[in-house]
Amino acid sequence: MAKIICGVNELTNDSFNGKTISEIQDELRVVLNIPDNPTILFNDEETSDLSQAVQHDDTLEFVKPAGTKG
């Protein structure tokens, strides 16, 4: 199952398979409290390519910039 993380919030679900990082970010923005312009780690490597598709064994993490409240 794909793992989606933002701070202490984490979701694992097969429904994310095949969706792009951008689609997941838009869908989970409120649920996971994803900040505007987060640093994105895809399988522990920083990426800016939001068109990458997430598969069942991937980890996607949205990281708040240092010094950001909330």
pTM of the predicted model, to two decimals? Answer: 0.89
N- to C-terminal Cα separation, the chain: 28
CA 10 to chain centre: 9
Q: What is the CATH number of domain 2-63?
A: 3.10.20.30
Beta pairing partners, 53: 20
Per-residue pLDDT of the chain (70 residues; tens, 9 = 90+): 999 999 999 999 899 999 999 999 999 999 999 999 999 999 999 999 999 999 999 999 999 877 656 5
